[in-house]
Amino acid sequence: MVQATNLGFPRIGAQRETKKIVESFWAGKVTEQAVDEAAIKLRAENWQLQKAQGLTQIPSGDFSFYDHVLDHSVMFNVIPQRFRHLPDGHERNFAIGRGIQKPATETQEKVDIEAQEMKKWFDTNYHYIVPEFEANQTFHLGAQIKTLQEFNEAKALGIHTRPVVLGPLSFLLLGKAAKNSPGLDLITLLPKVLPVYEELFAKLAQAGADWIQVDEPILALDQPSAVIAHFRETYTRLTAAAPSLKFLIATYFGRIDSNVSFIKDSGVAGLHIDLVRAPEQLEHVIANINNTQVLSLGLIDGRNIWKTNLANALKIAQTAVQALGSDRVFVAPSCSLLHTPVTLRFEKRLASKSPELFDWLAYSEEKCKEVQALNNGVESVQAELADNARSIEARRTSAHTTNSAVRQRLEAIVPDQLRRRSVFPERQVKQHEANPLPEFPTTTIGSFPQTKEIRLARAKFTKGEINDAAYYDFIKQEIAFCVQEQEKLGIDVLVHGEAERNDMVAYFGERLEGYIFSENGWIASYGSRCVRPPIIFGDVHRVKPMTVTESVYAQSLTKKLMKGMLTGPVTCLQWSFVRDDIPRSVVCTQLALAIRDEVADLEKANIVHIQVDEPAIREGLPLRTVDFDFYLQWAVDAFLLATTGVKDTTVIHTHMCYSDFQDIFQAIIRMDADVLTIENSKSDMRILGAFSTHGYTAEIGPGVFDIHSPRVPSTQEMKERADAMLKYIPRRNLWINPDCGLKTRGWKEVRESLSNMVAVAEALRASKA
């Protein structure tokens, strides 16, 4: 019998219960006990729900208040020195995730501990807390063994679960050396961590577990053969130590490729592979497991919101069943459903207003149902399949997903549309002539504080409590205020402040055709923070200008240059749920054409500096280096298509943040922007050296201060940073700006920081080259 399984269920709750209780706890409104009770209730509901959908192997240990990697570190007692004096419990765990600051009291000194680093989880928009290991790291299980507790909790409810554990190689290699242990080779910790895994597995076996899921997502990345040798030894040892347990190694987000080589003789009972991202790998994997091992087929997309084409999935499942026999096949989502919203039950507005589209969707709850339907399908129960086929066909043939004008325009794209008229050095001369700026021009990245008043006005507008005219008047006032403030500060290239934007992608999505918005499509992003990505369901196109009114109004208030502000096509793509019926590159090109039109309209309206933000370009990079070029080709082409339709004198800016630029220098150069502003205040200056060695010659504004912190940087520290930048960047190319937008900050600190920043530029100008 094929098993219907799942790798992980969202932990946020259908009504974001986890976020709410955790944030109440942070605010001191509820006790630790209340937090635990809420979690127990939610876990029970999640297990019951999965059971009700017919799953036969349900995960446990997949819950988390903050991040599952953080939980895993804590379970193994990998707690950085600076947190160790805090008492064991939620407060300490949250402190590791978000840092802790408390003013001094009569009885206690002040507390100020920096959080552990947060990083993007592979190519998703989920962030994990990077484990910090020390050279003399010890590992041991504490009194609270989360995975065991949750297994027992489910058992008490009569639900036999499959505990999920992050595997030792991924745990170590996704981590980093602590500051006090520079150069630590993480793999040398393996002999120390394995006994603790053995102990954990023995306890799970004793509690009655049979299958356990050991996540090793790093198997989807390029790995040197030495690491694969460690995999072989590790799993041979762990499985021998726990003979009653059946190990399922779970990989996801990409293909396992040659990393599969250790599986055969490793003693593991099964392997999970992602057949949504990498359907082509089935045959290769079947050929590389032994004749008792189970193959878990990731056939339901765990990272998107569309219904699965069950007939197609069934064909793949049947191929596997033919090769392996039904006892050796599991069906499952491609990865943990952590990356998909919880349930469609609360999407009332979509259900009533867009029933056609609503019928195409499946969130986590519905995806569990699909797993079961697929399972039934393999067992020749066809009932749900017919219904699914109808829905898939309706989507395929819908008149609403295709727009022939858009398709024709895409067909007609010619290489000239991806090129500026002149090369950068010529443009630079013309630009400086047409619109002179002082040396070291100062600017900001776009957004200014999103105050309570702004959010309130927007909420009222959305609820219909104030009309269009009143809301727009309010926005105009905000723009005027923001322009005035920048003039007072003496900034050179101004922005309108983005008061009208709730979110840099949603704002454009709401103004483009081809997008819809969910009410409850939340997914975890980091900590308690959830995001609700807009949904691209059809051909994207622009019906009318989206930002011109605001930019033109802002320009009318000042003699200084006003920078137009747009979100780039790649970022719109990355931060949306994207239709899966045409290639992502095509969707991206459609977005690029829409932005191109907007750029043209801004230029026509005499906006001569235009910024097209691409903060997400790096995160779209594939997991395997051989796939980089293909992605970068279409992603950079999309940026070029969006930005190159302008005159030589129009200055195109782009902005990137959250990035390791290492892998993408060539791509950044090919983007051919005139000015690049990047997050830099926390990075090593050597990265700037790398920009010039790789041949970057255009203007650049590496951020001189960190906008994530309310701290006001002094002129001196920023000047030191700028001086260091001048070692790598010629004077005429250096801009002075913050790391990113200021929307999460308050006006007081923004004024002070920017005033100090302007002083830096003045000091630089005074010092002759």
446 touches ligand MET (CB under 6 A): yes
In the structure encoding, which two tokens stand for residue 547, read together? 């930002």
Q: For residues 193 and 189, what is the distance between their CA atoms, to the nearest angstrom?
A: 6
655 touches ligand MET (CB under 6 A): yes
Binding site, annotated residues for 5-methyltetrahydropteroyltri-L-glutamate? 19, 125, 529-530, 575
740 touches ligand MET (CB under 6 A): yes
602 touches ligand MET (CB under 6 A): no
Q: Rounded to the nearest 5°, which phi and psi values hold at 220?
A: -90, 0
Residue number with the shortest CB distance to ligand MET? 741
741 touches ligand MET (CB under 6 A): yes
Binding site, annotated residues for L-homocysteine? 445-447, 613
Question: Of 127-135, 240-248, 295-303, 445-453, which segment contacts ligand MET by CB under 6 A?
Answer: 445-453
HEC profile for 366-394? HHHHHHHHHHHHHCCCCHHHHHHHHHHHH
Q: Are the C-beta atoms of 674 and 654 separated by less than 8 Å?
A: no
From Zn ion, ligand MET, none, which one binds at residue 184 (CB under 5 to 8 Å depending on kind)?
none
Q: Rounded to the nearest 5°, which phi and psi values hold at 516?
A: -130, 165
In the structure encoding, which two tokens stand for residue 680, read together? 């830099």
Which of the 8 DSSP states describes residue 38? H
615 touches ligand MET (CB under 6 A): yes
10 Å Cβ neighbour count for 415? 8
Out of 667, 743, 753, 757, name the contact with ligand MET by CB under 6 A: 743
Q: For residues 346 and 362, what is the distance between their CA atoms, to the nearest angstrom?
A: 12
- Torsion sign over Cα 409, 412, 416, 419: positive
Number of residues that bind ligand MET (CB under 6 A): 13
Site for Zn ion in 317-336 (CB under 5 A): none
Site for Zn ion in 731-760 (CB under 5 A): 740
In the structure encoding, which two tokens stand for residue 239, read together? 């499985």
- Kindly give the pairing relationship between strand 3-4 and strand 329-333: parallel
10 Å Cβ neighbour count for 434? 13
Helix axes 747-766, 715-726, angle to 10 degrees: 50
230 is known as an active-site residue: no
Element of type H or E holding 507: helix 506-509
Shortest approach of ligand MET to residue 496 CB, angstroms? 11
From ligand MET, Zn ion, none, which one binds at residue 565 (CB under 5 to 8 Å depending on kind)?
ligand MET
Q: Which is nearer to ligand MET, 476 or 496 (CB)?
A: 496
Site for Zn ion in 572-631 (CB under 5 A): 615
- Kindly give the pairing relationship between strand 270-274 and strand 294-300: parallel
Binding site, annotated residues? 19, 125, 445-447, 498, 529-530, 575, 613, 655, 657, 679, 740
10 Å Cβ neighbour count for 143? 5
200 touches Zn ion (CB under 5 A): no
670 class by beta-carbon count within 10 Å (0-12 exposed, 13-18 middle, 19+ buried) = middle
Residues 6+ apart with CB under 8 A from 527: 66, 67, 97, 98, 127
Out of 504, 593, 594, 761, name the contact with ligand MET by CB under 6 A: 504
Binding site, annotated residues for L-methionine? 445-447, 498, 613
Out of 132, 347, 598, 613, name the contact with ligand MET by CB under 6 A: 613
User: By rule CB under 6 A, what string of x and - marks binding of each residue 657-696 to ligand MET?
Assistant: x---------------------------------------
Q: For residues 713 and 725, what is the distance between their CA atoms, to the nearest angstrom?
A: 17
Q: Are the C-beta atoms of 505 and 573 separated by less than 8 Å?
A: no
Shortest approach of ligand MET to residue 527 CB, angstroms? 17
Q: Which is nearer to ligand MET, 318 or 683 (CB)?
A: 683
In the chain, count H helices and then E strands: 27, 25
Question: Of 208-216, 357-365, 376-384, 442-450, which segment contacts ligand MET by CB under 6 A?
Answer: 442-450
- In 143-224, which residue ranges form alpha helices assigned H by DSSP? 146-156, 168-173, 190-206
Shortest approach of ligand MET to residue 414 CB, angstroms? 30
Catalytic residue among 400, 541, 694, 708: 708
* Half-sphere exposure (Cβ direction) of 139: Cα atoms closer than 13 Å: 23
Question: Of 54-62, 338-346, 439-447, 745-753, which segment contacts ligand MET by CB under 6 A?
Answer: 439-447
Shortest approach of Zn ion to residue 615 CB, angstroms? 5
Site for ligand MET in 549-578 (CB under 6 A): 565
Contact residues: ligand MET, CB under 6 A: 445-447, 498, 504, 565, 613, 615, 655, 657, 740-741, 743
Contact residues: Zn ion, CB under 5 A: 615, 657, 740
Write out the catalytic residue numbers.
708
